[in-house]
Structure 1
Amino acid sequence: MTTTAPAKAGSEPVTAPQDEELTVAEVATDTTALIDERRHPLRAANGRFVRAGEAATPDADELPLDRFLDREISWLQFNERVLQLAADENVPLLERARFLAIFTSNLDEFFMVRVAGLKRRITTGIAVRAASGLEPREQLDQIAAVSHELLDLQAKVFHQLVRPALSEEGISIVRWDELSDTEHERLGNLFTDQIFPVLTPLAVDPAHPFPYISGLSLNLAVVLINPRTDKEHFARVKVPPLLPRLVVRVEPAGDPLSDAHEARFVPLEDVIAAHLDQLFPGMEVHQHFTFRVTRNEDLEVEEDDAENLLTALERELTRRRFGPPVRLEVEESVDDHVMDLLVRELGVHDSELYRLPAPLDLRALNVIADLERSELHYPPFLSRSNPDLAPIERSKTGDILASIRRQDVLLQHPYDSFSTSVQAFIEQAATDPKVLAIKQTLYRTSGDSPIVDALIDAAEAGKQVLAVVEIKARFDEQNNISWARKLEAAGVHVVYGIVGLKTHCKLCLVVRQEGDGLIRYCHIGTGNYNPKTARLYEDFGLLTVDPQVGEDLTRLFNQLSGQAPKSKFKRLLVAPRTVRTGLIERIDAETARARHGEDAWVAMKLNAIVDEEVVDALYRASRAGVKVQIWARGTCAIRPGVPGLSENIAVHSILGRFLEHSRVFLFGNGGETEAWIGSADMMHRNLDRRVEALVRVTDPRHVDDLTALLRRGMSEDYQHWWLGSDGRWNRSHLDEAGEPLADVQGSLIEMHSKRIRKARRR
């Protein structure tokens, strides 16, 4: 079968033959089409997309019923783009290995949360037809079909592209049978000394029921034969998650790992499998296969019924380990009777079974991606201090607060250093004797957070410190509980926001006594207060002493810690009340301008856009002639380029060494560009079930910077993916000569470096 991607203006359709042997071009240029007429209930008819069997009768006054792409499939397409980077030979080799690991982690979370949630809603009878028109069961069927195809493709990318390329660089993942006798002996000693003592073999027989299989654990299914009775027995051995998944064997033996030496990695499960006879003495090990289960790990906490949210969440975290299975991955060579046993005992359906070549769970490739081989990584990058935070006199140390008093500072991480800006801002406030209070939201932070330490120092110094800790941040709940208790013990006022809403906004307010009264220093960001992710995630943050922003943050923190439901804001849009309505008002204003013949445009950069009201507002704008540009990293429900609906809408996506994470909203505003940044994506959960905040950026320099960034991200001169009207993403990364196009993130690194050099010369 061949699949043809839709042609972009001025280009020819790309055909990707699906042969047994995978080539880089088949993945990096145009992967298998994930949505086709066999699996998607939408078809093109007279320029309008309708459900199969419906008549195509476009009405200029109505929006077509099937104008939304399915969000679940769109997310899987995002993960497909990650996989394309893993297959791209122009990406440094060890980064390709990391993208394979990221693909696995992403898909794990998708099943644990999105698929599990959909299944739960179906079981409880509360699932409804998706905005895309798909019934819940149809969504599950499509998810299964696309996921099977993606996992098969991931296996091919690893085995046919990345693994051979690693081997050429002296980095090998070798199986037990490929090792020498000497290596067998060394690993045997390692097994006896360090592995055997922590293994717990579990037999299955009338006296031993089938064991509980924890989510995402790697396991060995072992078939044993009793030599006295010839009776077959089944046992399970869990691969210990606290031991390194890949055992490093370096040649020459005994030398430390370095660029000059070959790195050979042996999967831990292979070492265990080779010594199963020591776990089952007196039994004959007949067969063994690896398998892995994914479980529902989406939390449900009834806040209204919980006397103490912290206690309720801790209780729910304990329950999480026992969620029902949503996926079973098995080694492709597994015998049918062993597979049938696993399927029966775990209660999974055929569509939830994935047979894959070993090794399973390619998150293990992070170990290889961390190798110190500089020539196989992206070029070194070091964040620099934003020049607006530099001291006026070079001989003096930086005074962050003084810099903010001089002018608003717009930060873009990781190009601007987080540690010398946001972290330094909070640390300086914590030690400044004139600072009276610090108020801070914490959604996700690092395990050794200097932000938390600074808040503790401030509280111990007698300052009023408020921390709004969102302990329900998915998969960071346990960390946040620990930090909440640590903050409370130090005297910090810890609150958990508003019942029924997650506090997702990124805010810090510092109140300082100065000669002319109290001054409020503010930080509003698009990313978390986490120094580690700030080196990997692209985000914006605004530092300002603008009185309106200070007043807005004071009111918002009062909402979060007390009772102030009717607060009004001047320079903020705050969900769940005004983010959606505020943005739609501005989109509609552009629509009105276009209808009056004026120049009108809208540009957005975000992680996801699926909210139907916002998307419909953009469709109406497009029909009126507004130029709409969407830079979406992940999920996108918009169907661009449909005549009479969205021919004025263009959608791009950019992935690379940094995770594009910022949210930026720009409006033409009759020639006076209006710019907003903040924490909210255009999703129901962000707009209806979270406290989110967007702040208007007013400094003309910063508005120009944001406009230039969006222009760069939507340019045809840089590598990107573009979304076609049929719902497929198409990659544009090579010029007419077949050479790689410029990289947006690489160009930003260079641009920020030039800005620093220019500032130093002043």
Structure 2
Amino acid sequence: MTRMPVPDPATVTSPVPGEVDLAATGELVITAATAPRRTVMRGPDGRFVRLGDPHDADAGSLPADRFLDREISWLQFNERVLQLAADEHLPLLERARFLAIFTSNLDEFFMVRVAGLKRRIATGLAVRSASGLEPREVLDRIAEVSHDLLAAQALIFHDGVRPALERNGIRIVRVDQLSAAEQVRFGTYFTGRIFPVLTPLAVDPAHPFPYISGLSLNLAVVLLNPRTGKEHFARVKVPPLLPRFIKVEHEPDPDSPLAEVTRFVALEDLIAAHLDQLFPGMEVQESFTFRVTRNEDLEVEEDDAENLLTALERELTRRRFGPPVRLEVDKAMDDKVMDLLVRELGVSQAEVYRLPAPLDLRGLNVIADLENSELHFERFVARTNVDLAPTESAKARDIFAAIRRSDVLLHHPYDSFSTSVQAFIEQAAADPHVLAIKQTLYRTSGNSPIIDALIDAAEAGKQVLAVVEIKARFDEQNNISWARKLEHSGVHVVYGIVGLKTHCKLSLVVRQEAEGLRRYCHIGTGNYNPKTARLYEDLGLLTCDEEVAEDLTRLFNMLSGLAPRAKFKRLLVAPRTVRSGLDDLINKEISYAEAGRPASIRLKVNSIVDENLIDSLYRASQAGVKIQVLVRGICAIRPGVPGLSENIEVRSILGRFLEHSRVFCFGGDGDPVALIGSADMMHRNLDRRVETLLMLRDPGQIEFVESLITRGMSNEFASWRLEADGRWIRHHLDEEGQPLRDYQKRLIDYYAKKRRKASR
């Protein structure tokens, strides 16, 4: 019996995905069968349980502790990020950036995962996790691990990165370490640029304790009234829109020891040095920095919302007032001030994190952006995919002609996004022969050229459909703005299917040609965001294949209209067929292994936590199927357990690019099957989102995506290996203590060589 949380105490039902048949021809046919229903109800112990799960009987023979804990696994992922910050073999400013990334990651974890767990505990909906831990046990484990990680981050910064920065002429200094002339200049800067935007808030009978916004950096100020001798407390918010670290500009003097030194002053330190200007007539006794993390997850009941945009905007306003889930304070803070904050904010002692200043190391991005080639990764510039490059340099690039010649498999950031996907949409918008453009938008960038191209197309009279996911976490306000801008320009904007996030990455272009209408498609694993495409590793296929075009046409009709019975040939589509399709492919490998034939499964995903699919992989391992999993983030698989998962190997790769593509490869008894797409092996992707996986057909493309996993699992390259006890062990040095080869650097070199060869 598998426990799962549900949103309502009443008995509810949910559909099981449809069936998938892999025909002898290799055609992936989705039958979309109406399957039996699973029932969720409250058991005698008060917990919610799911009945009628097709794997319940099989799962009974598997050990109860076969799943690693989801939340702890995520914290282990962020620990891997921290290990990169500690790695002295990496460029120094990149290590500083990894410290900032660690902070940002942990902030989101507390705002969403910890906040959500606390909310479920408070409402009585929390259930025992798949790893066997009670909700309170998970919360305690999270607090224990998080305290250790933040302590480690502080140690890495203060004892490792900061001294190394100073050795390389980059210093973070206090105001009292500046020269007299510099202090005067900074005083003028404070008076003219900072003082006008500060709002000191006192706490006394006439002034209640102020609201502290989530993730804001604040100064807790202790004041003394010299006339009455009474102490007072005040709070000053550090303005988030001003630079966190301010560069010290000094007069050029080649004889000065500071001539080759770049210095920064923390904004909060500059404010603290001038607090007397904020509280004239009072004596500033002391000040300490603190920071609050709040519940910033959104809850919108779509079925009850007459207008989803209005409901979401209302909820966004409430987000700022979510309950606190973490309090970070300067470790020098005295007990009186600490007790006041704890009492007024309503946090427990376990939620208090005492850390050495400076708090909020996201600010290190300012320093990491310094131009110093010796302290950064080797410069990398994405180039045009060789299949899209014009055959003659004088000719303009024709994306449609290139796609007609052959399908184009894109691999970002090694293949430029701007000269491939972005150029595809822009050319479609400008081409008078294009009649319609359909696009999904989950996350995009500010001043997005993709949005601009869709607007241009609509204003040119083309039919343009944009499926905008306005519930994309932390991009809600941004996407609402885009949706309204698109609507005002004549784009047909829809918000997908009620109750499901539209997470798939799809573009469809309909073009009038001499032979008739032709449809051009793009299916990707990453967002249509030119900025993140320079940092995220993703795959995408440009094709005019008729089967893919028909699949996308049907899917867009389903998203914009009513097509619940749509069938697909080369697509698996969640929530109906991704789960069952993957399960079917796993079962086929099991049958091959049981028949004594070669059988293999290779997966590359961001996260894998779905218990049913993991159990299928365990059964495949028990049957003798060789399984390799390359996972960036969360992994609930326990590999290498005798009798359960000795044929499963799990590794992780982190580096200068964020590994983001999803690849699913199956041996196929000598006829390999490979799919790419937007779905991870997580409950939300399989059951609560519209996701797509595309079956590749070209043997060369199948071989290439397989090679991505094979290389990632190789001992030749640096990686982390997951052990049976749940520990991640980093393997990045050879027997002589020298760094192993970098997986992503290997791909940079591969593409450079490929382009040189193509240009000859």
Q: TM-score, normalised by structure 2?
A: 0.91
Q: Which amino acid aligns with 1:521?
A: Y
Residue in structure 2 matched with residue 176 of structure 1 by the alignment: 175
| 1:391–1:399 Cα contact (<8 Å) kept | yes
Aligned partner of residue 249 in structure 2, secondary structure: strand
Question: Contact (CA 8 Å) 1:117, 1:296: kept in 2 or not?
Answer: yes
Matches within 5 A, 1:159-558: 159-252=158-251, 261-558=260-557
Per-residue CA deviation, residues 143-167 of structure 1 (Å, 9 max, x unaligned), is 0000000000000000000000000
The answer to whether the 8 A contact 1:202-1:237 is kept is: yes
> Post-superposition shift, 1:394?
4.0
AA aligned opposite 1:471 = I
d(CA) in 2 for partners of 1:691, 1:481:
19
* Amino acid across the alignment from 1:168: R
Tell me if the contact between 2:59 and 2:615 (Cα under 8 Å) persists in the aligned partners.
Answer: no
Q: What is the root-mean-square deviation in Å for CA atoms of aligned residues?
A: 1.3
Contact 1:678 1:693 in 2 (8 A): yes
Deviation, structure 1 residue 60: 11
For residue 61 of structure 1, report the CA deviation from its aligned partner: 7.6
Shift of 1:691: 0.2
CA contact (8 A) 1:639 1:726 kept: yes
Amino acid at match of 1:208: H
Residues 681-700 of structure 1 deviation map (CA, whole Å, 9 limit, x = unaligned): 01011111000000011111
- What is the distance in 2 between the residues matched to 1:206 and 1:638? 55
**Paired letter, 1:638:** I
Hey, what's the Cα distance between the residues in 2 that align with 1:104 and 1:390? 40
State the SS of the aligned residue for 1:614: helix
For the residues of structure 1 that align with 2:350 and 2:575, how far apart are their CA atoms? 38
8 A Cα contact 1:410 1:543, kept in partner? yes
Letter in 2 for 1:627: K
- The corresponding residue for 1:80 is 79
Distance 1:260 1:693, change over 3 A: farther
User: Which aligned segments of 4 or more residues in structure 1 are displaced greater than 6 angstroms?
Assistant: none
- Normalising by structure 1, we get a TM-score of 0.91
SS at match of 2:437: strand
**Cα distance per residue 1:236-290 (max 9 Å; x no partner):** 00111111111110344599xxx97311011111111111111111111111100
**Which whole-Å CA distance do the structure 2 matches of 1:209 and 1:698 have between them?**
66
Residue 593 of structure 2 aligns with an amino acid whose one-letter code is A
Structure 2 portions without partners, runs of 5+: 1-57
Kept in 1: contact 2:679–2:692 (CA 8 A): yes
CA–CA separation in structure 2 for the residues paired with 1:95 and 1:137: 37
Deviations 1:213-258 (A, max 9, x none): 0000000001111111111110000111111111110344599xxx
- The one-letter code sitting in structure 2 at the alignment partner of 1:131 is A
**Matched residue type, 1:229:** T
Asked if 2 retains the 8 angstrom alpha-carbon contact of 1:251 and 1:261, the reply is no
Instruction: Check the 8 A contact 1:250/1:262 in 2, yes or no.
Output: no
**Residue 602 of structure 1 pairs with residue 601 of structure 2:** yes
Q: Which range moved further: 593-602 or 392-401?
A: 392-401
Offset, 1:657: 0.3
Instruction: Report deviation, 1:395.
Output: 3.4
CA 752–331 in structure 1, closer or farther in 2 if over 3 Å, else same: same
Change in CA separation of 1:344 and 1:189 when aligned onto 2, cut-off 3 Å: same
Paired amino acid for 2:224: I
SS in structure 2 at match of 1:389: coil
Q: How big is each residue's C-alpha offset from its partner over 1:635-693, in whole Å with a ceiling of 9 and x where there is no partner?
A: 00000000000000000000000000000000000011110000000101111100000
Q: Secondary structure at the match of 2:467?
A: strand
- Provide the C-alpha distance between the structure 1 equivalents of 2:144 and 2:650, rounded to a whole number of angstroms: 25
Q: Which runs of 5+ in 1 are unaligned?
A: 1-58
**What is the aligned length?**
700
Q: Identify the residue that residue 672 of structure 2 maps to in structure 1.
A: 673
- Displacement of 1:516: 1.6
Aligned partner of 2:32 in structure 1 is none
Aligned to 1:21: none
* Counterpart secondary structure, 1:471: coil
What is the match of residue 683 of structure 1?
682
Q: Secondary structure at the match of 1:730?
A: strand
Q: Counterpart of 1:424 in 2: which secondary structure?
A: helix
Please give the per-residue CA displacement for 1:179-206, whole angstroms capped at 9, x wherever unaligned: 2222222211111111111111000000
Given the superposition, is the C-alpha separation of residues 669 and 101 from structure 1 closer, same or farther in structure 2, using an over 3 Å criterion?
same
**Could you tell me whether the CA contact under 8 Å between 1:526 and 1:677 is conserved in 2?**
yes
Displacement of 1:706 after TM fit?
A: 0.7
SS in 1 for 2:248: strand
* Contact map agreement 1:60 1:644 (CA 8 A) in 2: no
DSSP-derived class of the 1:388 partner: coil
Please, which moves more after superposition, 742-751 or 591-600? Answer: 591-600
CA change 1:235–1:60 in 2 (3 A) is closer
Task: Tell whether the 8 Å contact from 1:252 to 1:261 is kept in structure 2 after alignment.
Answer: no
Q: 2:401, 2:140 → 1: CA distance?
A: 58
Q: Contact (CA 8 Å) 2:504, 2:691: kept in 1 or not? A: yes
Q: Does 1:130 align with 2:129?
A: yes
Answer whether contact 2:721 2:729 (CA < 8 A) is retained. yes
Distance in 2 between residues matched to 1:611 and 1:232, nearest whole Å? 55
Q: In the TM superposition, what whole-angstrom CA distance separates every residue of 1:35-78 from its partner, at most 9, and x where no partner exists?
A: xxxxxxxxxxxxxxxxxxxxxxxx99811011000010000000
Residues 714-739 of structure 1, C-alpha deviation per residue, up to 9 Å, x if partnerless? 10110000000000000000000110
Partner AA of 2:551 in structure 1? D
- What do residues 92-123 of structure 1 show as CA deviations (whole Å, max 9, x unaligned)? 00000000000000000000000000001111
Q: Which amino acid aligns with 2:724?
A: S
Letter in 2 for 1:116: A
Q: CA deviation at 1:708?
A: 1.2
TM-superposed deviation, 1:501: 0.2
On the 8 A contact 1:250/1:261 being kept in 2, the answer is no
Q: CA deviation at 1:606?
A: 0.6
Please list the CA deviations of residues 553-601 of structure 1 after superposition, one character each: whole Å capped at 9, or x if unmatched: 0000011000101111100000000001100110111011111111100
Q: Is the 8 A contact 2:182 2:250 kept in 1?
A: no
Q: 2:577 matched to which residue of 1?
A: 578
The percent identity for this pair of structures is 75
Deviation readout 1:452-479 (Å, 9 max, x if unpaired):
0000010011110000000111111111
> 1:90 — aligned with what?
89
Give yes or no for the alignment of 1:620 onto 2:619: yes
8 Å contact kept, 1:386–1:411: yes
Deviation of 1:487 after TM superposition, in Å, equals 0.3
How many Å separate the matches in 2 of 1:346 and 1:559?
47
Deviation at 1:392, TM superposition (A): 3.6
SS at match of 2:552: helix
Q: Which residue in 2 is equivalent to 1:11?
A: none
Q: Deviations over 1:726-759 (max 9, x none)?
A: 0000000000011000000000000001111111
AA in 2 matched with 1:668: G
How far residue 391 of structure 1 moved from its aligned partner, in angstroms, is: 2.7
SS at match of 1:117: helix
Rounded Cα–Cα distance in structure 1 between residues aligned with 2:98 and 2:390: 40
**What letter is aligned with 2:500?**
L
Would you say the 8 A contact 1:603–1:710 is kept in 2? Answer: yes
How far 1:518 sits from its partner (Å)?
1.1
Change in CA separation of 1:268 and 1:550 when aligned onto 2, cut-off 3 Å:
same
